Amino acid sequence: MATSNVYQRQTAAGLVPNALGVLPDPVTPAEIDGRVRILYASIDFEDADAVGVAPEVAILPKGARLLSAQFNVINGLNAGTASLGIAGDVAKYIAATAVTSAGFQGSIVASEVGVKLTEDTTLLMTTATGDPVAADQIDVMVEWVLD
């Protein structure tokens, strides 16, 4: 029968203390009761912005874990898509998704949920196939926790 213990990870072999009596692989405070933080960034486009513009959204610190991410389209790009990622992997967190109609669009890539950042990380929102104009606005919302 599966068991759960909030304060210690469960393993198939059971929990065996080391020579000092310390149990292995303790659960970090963020995994029990870490403070969830909300990143909210509003990207306002200009007429001079072209397809492929990649505005910086925010810098998350080393050790952060992303829990969720999505776009809230206020005024979308004409026949356009946007993705959320980093330099070298523009769709790391949100794959290219249509951002042509108002409302919530896209969600975090499942394989990136809870992955600890190994360095300070600059998030970029990259546009494609839609030439932004001055009236276009997309808000980015990211929930994250720091160990």
pLDDT digits (tens, 9 = 90+) for 72-113: 999 888 878 999 999 999 999 999 999 999 999 999 999 999
In-domain check, residue 56: yes
The residue ranking higher by pLDDT, 80 or 27, is 80
Whether residue 1 has pLDDT greater than 50: no
Q: State the pLDDT confidence band at 45, using cuts at 50, 70 and 90.
A: confident
Give the domain extent around 136.
Answer: 34-146
In-domain check, residue 10: no
In-domain check, residue 27: no
**What does pTM read for this prediction?**
0.77
CA–CA–CA angle 90, 52, 39 (5° rounding): 50
CATH of the domain at 42: 2.60.120
Residues 81-91 have pLDDT tens digits of 999 999 999 99
In-domain check, residue 68: yes
* Count of the separate structural domains present in the chain: 1
From start to end of 19-80, where are the E strands?
36-44, 56-60, 64-75
